[in-house]
């Protein structure tokens, strides 16, 4: 279909020479550097790039792209390496473009409640720089990911239920195209009907359409009042019913997270806590003093009807930080349940009305496995994750975990949900894209061919091989 035979790349050496001339010591071919850039936090095997470039400006990124394009060498954008579906592996070699040196917050407007940041700024760095403004950036995927990476995976996390995902919090992007042209996708108006929506086209494209180098974001006012709590339930079903009823009552929750009983055991051990080893909801409320009180009372009543008890409140900021740190550490905590294991994670999202059923059937799948696994997630969005802890030397365990993962994906898709709520496709979900999007995949491929006809941008990710 493509004008050019796909995946016919050029030799990398002349590109590396030209890049070294451009960047000097900011071009590395050291083995350790290459291997570090050859994997994310998933279990996908390391595939190091041939070289790693560390540009410091959009203009340098454009020059890097021009050189790689001229030599037909793959280009793989790299943020913090915290993706979990095999997003950054250099499957066909090429040059990783590490954007961590582009870490300046370029402007903040408290009047317009927006900011422009370079792609390598991390979410914690941004919020630290916003500390005295009364504003914050809410999207929180757990890891201290780069904002550019969060754009590229269409990330969300714990408080998307109130503040939306990355896609909902963007005003515009600066993107370097494969041939070095630079596009700014919009201005700073809150809304625009001017032409095709390029901002959302590059968001979630995982670096396969271009390199995101700058982002203009919406910020939000810090809530007047914040309150957080965790609450134990007799079983997952009761916890999930409470979530569904809360959402359906129109309570504007800030966060609404589930952790199952085994995940609680792991979290207690990892974070030095002693919560009951039962399914818990982690909750946070934002609003005015009276609004937070109203919401909290309503949710407590709904929880009580479902057998939820022992609300442990965290009113002070340090208590809340500890609570959410424990939630964010769920992944490393789970890994400690089986030291040395190979984790297989998944991430699906379904309409909220199907969530209880989806988790119930997933639990049944997991109970049939001989190895440990946990369920946790952003259930207020209908989004949950499963972590299955495999013996890395057991082909049988890995095969069974993959089969269960596939079953979970199919179930979510059959419930009009999605194979990934927030992690992205990477390598891990490519096999499911066509089942979810059908003819839409050919539209995606046509767009890919239009913007990257040589197939140089992060090859082997997102789009399945052509039929």
- The footprint of its own copies on residues 361-390 (CB under 8 A) is 381-383
Site for its own copies in 202-261 (CB under 8 A): 203-205, 209, 221, 244, 248, 250
Q: Is 139 in the site for its own copies (CB under 8 A)?
A: no
Q: What CA–CA distances, in Å, run from 115 to 111, 147, 156, 431? A: 11, 12, 18, 37
Residue 358 within binding range of its own copies, rule CB under 8 A: no
CA distance 255 to 245: 15
Alpha helices in 79-210 (DSSP H): 123-129, 147-152, 160-163, 198-202
297 sits near its own copies (criterion: CB under 8 A): no
Binder to its own copies among 20, 36, 104, 188 (CB under 8 A)? 188
Write out the binding residues for its own copies, residues 447-466 only, by CB under 8 A.
Answer: 447-451, 462-463
| 231 sits in which H/E element | strand 225-232
Question: Pick from 144, 353, 360, 395: which binds its own copies (CB under 8 A)?
Answer: 353
- Which segment (44-52, 289-297, 314-322, 400-408) binds its own copies by CB under 8 A? 289-297
Q: What are phi and psi of 184, to 5 degrees?
A: -110, 125
Indicate whether 114 belongs to the interface with its own copies (CB under 8 A).
Answer: yes
Can residue 411 be called a binding residue for its own copies (CB under 8 A)?
no
Residue 74 · residue 114 · CB < 8 Å: no
Instruction: Restricting to residues 168-187, name those near its own copies by CB under 8 A.
Output: 168, 177, 181-187
CB 322 within 8 A of CB 228: no
Q: Which of 241, 281, 285, 286 is nearest to 261 (CA)?
A: 281
Query: CB 281 → its own copies: shortest distance, Å?
Result: 18
Minimum gap (Å) between residue 169 Cβ and its own copies? 11
Sorted by sequence, the CB contacts under 8 Å of residue 395 that are 6+ apart come out as none
Cβ-based nearer residue to its own copies, 222 or 309: 222
Which of 2, 109, 133, 226 is the binder for its own copies (CB under 8 A)? Answer: 109
Binding of its own copies by 160 (CB under 8 A) = yes
Note whether 133 binds its own copies by CB under 8 A. Answer: no
CB of 64 to its own copies, least distance (A): 18
| Residue from 231, 232, 376, 419 in contact with its own copies (CB under 8 A) | 419
Residue 195 interacting with its own copies (CB under 8 A): yes
Nearer to its own copies, 278 or 448 (CB): 448
Structure tokens belonging to residue 395: 């082909």
Q: How many residues bind its own copies (CB under 8 A)?
A: 87
Query: Of the two residues 392 and 440, which places its CB atom closer to its own copies in the complex?
Result: 440
Interatomic CA distance for residues 123 and 140, integer angstroms: 7
- Residue 128: exposed, middle, or buried by beta-carbon count in 10 A (0-12, 13-18, 19+)? exposed
Q: Is 421 in the site for its own copies (CB under 8 A)?
A: yes
**Segment contacting its own copies by CB under 8 A, of 13-21, 24-32, 233-241, 431-439:** 431-439
How far is the C-alpha of 324 from the C-alpha of 282, rounded, in Å? 8
Q: Which residues contact 130 (CB under 8 A, 6 or more apart)?
A: 108, 115, 136, 137, 219
Q: Which stretch binds its own copies (CB under 8 A): 39-47, 50-58, 190-198, 368-376?
A: 190-198
Phi, psi dihedral angles at 171 (to 5 degrees): -105, -40
DSSP character for 465? P
């Amino acid at each position: 279909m493509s004008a050019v035979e796909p995946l016919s790349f050029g030799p990398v050496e002349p590109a590396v020479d030209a890049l070294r001339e451009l960047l000097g010591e900011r071009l590395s071919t050291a083995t350790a550097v290459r291997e570090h850039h050859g994997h994310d936090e998933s279990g996908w095997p390391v595939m190091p790039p041939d070289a790693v470039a560390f540009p410091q400006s959009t203009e340098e990124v454009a020059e890097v792209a021009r050189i790689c394009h001229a030599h037909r060498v793959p280009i793989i954008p790299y943020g913090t390496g915290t993706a979990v579906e095999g997003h950054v592996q250099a499957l066909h070699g090429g040059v990783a473009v590490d954007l961590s040196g582009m870490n300046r917050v370029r402007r903040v407007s408290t009047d317009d409640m927006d900011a422009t940041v370079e792609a390598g700024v991390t979410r914690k760095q941004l919020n630290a720089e916003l500390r005295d403004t009364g504003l914050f950036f809410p999207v929180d995927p757990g890891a201290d990911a780069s904002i550019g990476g969060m754009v590229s995976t269409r990330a969300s996390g714990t408080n998307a239920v109130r503040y939306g995902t990355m896609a909902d919090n963007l005003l515009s992007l600066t993107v370097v195209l494969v041939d070095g042209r630079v596009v700014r996708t919009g201005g700073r108006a809150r809304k625009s009907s001017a032409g095709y929506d390029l901002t959302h086209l590059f968001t979630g494209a995982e670096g396969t359409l271009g390199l995101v180098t700058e982002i203009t974001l919406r910020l939000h006012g810090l809530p007047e009042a914040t309150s957080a709590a965790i609450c134990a339930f007799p079983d997952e079903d009761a916890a999930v019913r409470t979530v569904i009823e809360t959402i359906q009552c129109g309570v504007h929750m800030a966060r609404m997270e589930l952790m199952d009983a085994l995940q609680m055991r792991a979290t207690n051990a990892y974070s030095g806590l002693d919560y009951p080893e039962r399914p818990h909801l982690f909750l946070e409320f934002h609003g005015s003093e009276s609004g937070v009180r109203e919401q909290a009372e309503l949710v407590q009543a709904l929880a009580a009807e479902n057998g939820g008890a022992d609300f442990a409140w965290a009113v002070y900021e340090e208590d809340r930080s500890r609570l959410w740190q424990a939630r964010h550490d769920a992944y490393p905590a789970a890994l400690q349940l089986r030291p040395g294991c190979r984790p297989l994670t998944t991430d699906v999202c379904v309409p909220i009305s199907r969530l209880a059923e989806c988790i119930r059937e997933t639990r049944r799948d997991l109970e049939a496995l001989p190895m440990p696994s946990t369920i946790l997630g952003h259930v207020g969005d209908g989004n949950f994750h499963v972590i299955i802890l495999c013996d890395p030397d057991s082909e049988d365990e890995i095969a069974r975990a993959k089969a269960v993962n596939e079953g979970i994906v199919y179930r979510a898709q059959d419930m009009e949900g999605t194979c990934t709520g927030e992690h992205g496709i990477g390598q891990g979900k490519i096999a499911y894209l066509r089942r979810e999007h059908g003819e839409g995949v050919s539209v995606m491929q046509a767009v890919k061919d239009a913007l990257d006809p040589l197939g140089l941008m992060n090859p082997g990710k997102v789009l399945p091989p052509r039929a």
